[in-house]
Amino acid sequence: MSVLIYNISVQLYKLAILIASLFNKKARLWLEGRKDIFEELRKKVNDGAPVVWMHCASLGEFEQGRPVLESLRQQYPGHRLLLTFFSPSGYEIRKNYTGVDWVFYLPLDTKANAAEFVSIVKPNLSLFVKYEYWYHYLHELHKRNIPVILISAIFRENAPFFKWYGGVHRKMAGYFNHLFVQNGESAKRIAAIVPSEKITLAGDTRFDRVKTIADGFEPLPLVEQFIQGKKILVAGSTWPEDELMLQKLIEKQPGLSLIIAPHEITETHLRFLNDTFGDAAFYSAFVQAGSGISPARVLIIDNIGMLSKLYYYSSISYIGGGFNKSGIHNTLEAAVYGKPVLFGPNYQKFAEAIGLIKDKAACSYTTGDELIQLIQSFLDNESRLKEYGINAGRFVAAHTGATGLILNWLKKTAF
């Protein structure tokens, strides 16, 4: 792909967003969040202190970058931290995140926007997370000799970098001063393009993030009142396909109760859940009443932010998204508590899910009947339940440490 074709594709993307904004809320937020953005940047990012800029595509990438951000805040309190997002899914949830000084949308990747953004922000260091590549921003940083680092990177075999049309992507890879990759396969692939001395096999910073969350666990009293000795399946980040199977599971397993934290908590989806699980309780009702005592077997979490703590209470954890094209959500949030993890069939893009299955810490299924059989196999065999749980905890513990590697490198070369 040439830079000209890249520029055309960026403009076509903007046109598609403009059309979609007529009927899609996320597209409207994408546009509205970038309105007068340079004026806002000039007002806020202007105190002359050194700036570290981290860019994330969305919420999942933020959780990967977060351990590095928070470590930088601790170790370099004199630096200012700027966090940008491409997607409303990340920005709208984390726009008030207090771990940084400023949170913004990233302006669209054009040559003029990139030059203006970098001129205003004047970052001393830039960090991109996982697989967010924008040609003009990377070129502008490279041109101005501003260090730019890629963390928790994954390079799959079918990525544009390794295709005949991937010229622009190969240029972008060359603009990074250093690349911290998650696994050996990624390191080997990108070494065909980037000098090996610019590549470090560090692992995935999400392992550090979930360990920090688990270490700082604080009880949820209303959830504990609901549980009252029940055997609990916590289902996180679920979609309708997951929820219909879970409803059948609850019918077939009278000794099992369900706490479900859906991926979307829109009014429409909450009505769907209420219709699907007829006698369910809603967490917001517990908050209003000041009590979690309920005869219900299903508790629906109708807020955002509790999921990482909820998995602590599970006997078995269920991760949603396995029937979507984009795949499953975060398995590590559950595994860190030492509980067996279950998910649907679309998990092949996620190395941690593959690793959990390999280490007998997780299982996948493809039909509702298979899910019922899997759950029954754990409930009937306490030693199997315990084995998978122990393996899950060990898997997470064995893969922590990426944040420390990245911080040590930055300390020696960028500060």
Label residue 397 by pLDDT band (50, 70, 90): very high
Are residues 315 and 409 located together in one domain of the fold? no
Are residues 227 and 184 located together in one domain of the fold? no
Residue 361 has pLDDT above 80, yes or no: yes
Residue 1 has pLDDT above 80, yes or no: no
Are residues 160 and 225 located together in one domain of the fold? no
Residue 144 lies in a domain: yes
Q: What is the mean pLDDT of residues 347-359?
A: 93
Closest to 81 (Cα-Cα) out of 93, 94, 90, 72: 72
- Across 263-352, where does the E strand assignment appear? 281-282, 298-300, 316-319, 341-343
The domain of 253 spans 220-398
Residue 184 lies in a domain: yes
290: left (phi over 0), alpha (psi -120 to 50) or beta: left
Concatenating the DSSP letter of every residue in 351-383 gives HHHHHHHHTTSEEE-SSHHHHHHHHHHHHT-HH
Label residue 83 by pLDDT band (50, 70, 90): very high
Interval 334-352: pLDDT, tens: 999 999 999 999 999 888 9
Residue 220 has pLDDT above 80, yes or no: yes
Residue 279 has pLDDT above 90, yes or no: no
Amino acid of residue 310: L
Are residues 375 and 409 located together in one domain of the fold? no
Are residues 260 and 358 located together in one domain of the fold? yes
Q: Give the separation between CA 85 and CA 70, rounded to whole angstroms.
A: 17
Q: Any idea how long the chain is?
A: 415
Number of domains in the chain: 2
Are residues 124 and 271 located together in one domain of the fold? no
Q: Give the separation between CA 406 and CA 150, rounded to whole angstroms.
A: 10
Are residues 232 and 359 located together in one domain of the fold? yes
Are residues 239 and 96 located together in one domain of the fold? no
Are residues 19 and 66 located together in one domain of the fold? yes
Q: Give the separation between CA 101 and CA 260, rounded to whole angstroms.
A: 34
Residue 212 lies in a domain: no
Residue 257 near residue 297 (C-beta atoms within 8 A): yes
Residue 55 near residue 126 (C-beta atoms within 8 A): yes
Residue 145 lies in a domain: yes
Q: From the centroid of its chain, how far is CA 300?
A: 22
pTM for this entry: 0.86
Q: What is the CATH number of the domain that holds 16?
A: 3.40.50.11720
| 278 against 54, higher pLDDT | 54
